[in-house]
Amino acid sequence: MSILKLINKYKTGELITMLTCYDYPMASMIASTDLDAVLVGDTLAMIVHGHADTTTATLPMMVMHTQAVAKAKMPQVIVADLPFLSANLSPRDTLVAAGQLIQAGAQAVKIEGCDRVVDSIQACTQSGIPVMAHLGLTPQYVHQLGGFKVQGKTKEAQERLMQDAKRCEKAGAFALVLECVPPNLADSITQSVNIPTIGIGAGSKTSGQILVLHDMLGLTVGRLPRFVKQYAQAASLCEEAVSAYVSSVKSGQFPQKEHEYKEVVCEL
Ligand code: KIV
């Protein structure tokens, strides 16, 4: 799917569905579903690499995972995250980094924040790189925010987020992720901008939803945020399969004849 088709869905009032995706097998599985878009999110630093937050994601990591996802030749739009600080130094540096993600197979990049990165959003969109903005809880700013907390809890913070959403739209962002904000604020922002809002922990009034794939599949190690709904318990299924393998090897039930190659008898 192209970004234009995604925007068209928004214009016709269809809700947009997104999940994160970090690797080739998961991308191949998603390719056969009717999900609209995937995000090669920098949450891969936590979910796949076991780090405490996303500030440890690097551009080479993002490029490598984007390449793996793109190998699945999925019909979904692929958006890749610009990792920690890569959009904050200068618009020029942002373009160089975004270019690497596009060359790795993404069709768009996602940039967290507004103030310091609004010129970078504009530089990308004016250079043919679609940008998904990201406001509310922006995990790359975790140390400044004092943890993974709900944002937009005061009138000032709400006004600020509303202004930032409009600034991101003006800078050319084609969509906006709203993470961990009160549902009424997400609703107001959605009604005030003319680009799709993709919510995560932002209630039901956004133009679409995104979740971390491993969270919704039941594969995430550790505590889950309140906004996650689990659609499967995949870790338990995998544990059962590993235990079954261990006992069948120990009891001599695996491998059987059908798992062997033909016997070849050579004169020694
Ligand atoms: O990196 C990520 O996975 C994200 C989503 C949670 C929106 O930014």
pLDDT band at 226 (very low <50, low <70, confident <90, very high): very high
Tell me the per-residue pLDDT of 169-207, one tens digit each, with 9 for 90 and over. 999 999 999 999 999 999 999 999 999 999 999 999 999
In the chain, the amino acid numbered 205 is K
C-alpha Rg value of the chain to the nearest Å: 21
Tell me the per-residue pLDDT of 202-212, one tens digit each, with 9 for 90 and over. 999 999 999 99
CA distance 57 to 86: 10
Average pLDDT for the chain: 97
CA of 112 to the centre of ligand 1 (A): 10
pLDDT band at 268 (very low <50, low <70, confident <90, very high): confident
Tell me the per-residue pLDDT of 124-141, one tens digit each, with 9 for 90 and over. 999 999 999 999 999 999
Q: Does residue 105 have its Cβ closer than 6 Å to ligand 1?
A: no
CA of 43 to the centre of ligand 1 (A): 6
Sign (positive or negative) of CA dihedral 186, 188, 190, 192: negative
Q: Does residue 39 have its Cβ closer than 6 Å to ligand 1?
A: yes
Average pLDDT over residues 1-10: 94
Q: Does residue 36 have its Cβ closer than 6 Å to ligand 1?
A: no
Average pLDDT over residues 27-36: 98
Total-model pTM: 0.96
Tell me the per-residue pLDDT of 231-264, one tens digit each, with 9 for 90 and over. 999 999 999 999 999 999 999 999 999 999 999 9
CA of 220 to the centre of ligand 1 (A): 14
What does residue 111 show for φ and ψ, rounded to 5 degrees?
A: -125, 125
Please write down the long-range contacts of 107-110, taking CB distance under 8 Å and 24 or more positions apart: 107/2, 107/3, 107/77, 107/78, 107/79, 108/3, 108/77, 108/78, 108/79, 108/80, 108/132, 108/174, 109/79, 109/80, 109/81, 109/82, 110/39, 110/41, 110/79, 110/80, 110/81, 110/82, 110/134, 110/177
pLDDT at 70 over 90: yes
What are the residue numbers of the active site? 179
Give how far Cα 253 sits from Cα of 164, 240, 247, 257, Å: 62, 16, 8, 10
Domains of the chain plus CATH, in order, are 3-242 (3.20.20.60)
CA distance 80 to 24: 14
Ligand 1, closest atom to CA 54? Answer: 1
